[in-house]
Amino acid sequence: MIATDQDRQTQLPQTTEPRNAGLALDLDWVARAQANTSAIERRASTLGARRSVKKAHQAAWLLKAITCIDLTTLSGDDTAGRVARLCAKARRPVRDDILEALGMGPITVGAVCVYHDMIAPAAEALAGSGIPIAAVSTGFPAGLSPFHLRIKEIEESVKAGASEIDIVISRRHVLTQNWQALYDEMRAFRAACGDAHVKAILATGELGSLRNVARASLVCMMGGADFIKTSTGKESVNATLPVSLVMIRAIREYEAATGFRIGYKPAGEISKAKDSLVYLSMMKEELGDGWLQPDLFRFGASSLLGDIERQLEHHVTGAYSASYRHAAG
């Protein structure tokens, strides 16, 4: 048995963090942001080796990971039927018999992430569940559509029912060190979101250096981002541990200076249960237990859930099942 009454209480929606109000662009702060690449890579290399959780403890951490997943489908051949199946999985991410064997009540994923056209079928399928809908926006994944259309896209997605908007920044502003332009863009995106939370996708694999990642993270938070996110999942390099360390340390620095806690979302190439354990332990060690809740931490993933469910079944039965038995939808 894993769950206690206190554990079950943690499955309920968490108290929403006060929204990041942002602040005036501080170019001196941005210029001070550096990244010691060798030290960061050395620290990252230890994350998967120094901590090992087994048996019931591992199962508990994997259940926590499920509640922090943005279950995602962002394919050109998405249909209303596929989204409906994904939403059904979001409502019941783990089979009831496995949860019962673990002593757990019902859990859900953190959100469902879709393109704008799939918001309506997602809203219908998730009605009454309390699961947020996240929509990718602003010319995702390249972010190169006309600016007024990117703003309009955000507004239309919010109107359609998205409560979270994953925007993509203009990478050229980072590569040319035009921090004012990036800040102004982020402020405009935040304003267009209204009450919807905004996740700023940095596309870190295209930013050129860890120092650029650190500075872009700070500027987006100054501009009002509620979350900062590594990747669209469409780049050749997506979430990595070194990039994650840089971003979450920027989050820690921003919280110390402003009091606002910013969420973090690694996305792309996180498909194994063991990877989720490394990211969760990193969040706990670098930011603390407060960041182990879906209002401050999400995985952007589609196949991760299937592997976690497979590992949980192994914990309960002692046997591994075929991966096709744990489809996302």
Active site residues: 166, 229, 265
Six token digits for residue 322: 């075929």
Whole-number pLDDT of residue 318: 86
Q: List pLDDT tens digits, range 83-98.
A: 999 999 999 999 999 9
- Comparing C-alpha atoms, which of 91, 119, 258 is closest to residue 196? 119
| pTM of the model as a whole | 0.92
Q: List pLDDT tens digits, range 75-129.
A: 999 999 999 999 999 999 999 999 999 999 999 999 999 999 999 999 999 999 9
- CB burial readout 135-171, b (16+ within 10 A) else e: bbbbbbbebeeeeeebbebbbebbebbbbbbbbbbbb
Whole-number pLDDT of residue 9: 35
Whole-number pLDDT of residue 4: 38
Whole-number pLDDT of residue 282: 95
Q: List pLDDT tens digits, range 146-156.
A: 999 999 999 99
Each of the 329 residues of the chain gets a pLDDT tens digit; together they read 454 333 433 333 444 679 999 999 999 999 999 999 999 999 999 987 766 788 899 999 999 999 999 999 999 999 999 999 999 999 999 999 999 999 999 999 999 999 999 999 999 999 999 999 999 999 999 999 999 999 999 999 999 999 999 999 999 999 999 999 999 999 999 999 999 999 999 999 999 999 999 999 999 999 999 999 999 999 999 999 999 999 999 999 999 999 999 999 999 989 999 999 999 999 999 999 999 999 999 999 889 999 999 999 999 998 877 766 776 66
111 DSSP β-pair partners? 70
Domain boundaries, the chain: 21-326
Phi, psi of 85 (to 5 degrees): -65, -40
Whole-number pLDDT of residue 50: 64
Domain 21-326, CATH class in plain words? alpha beta
- The CA distance from 306 to 271, in Å, is 9
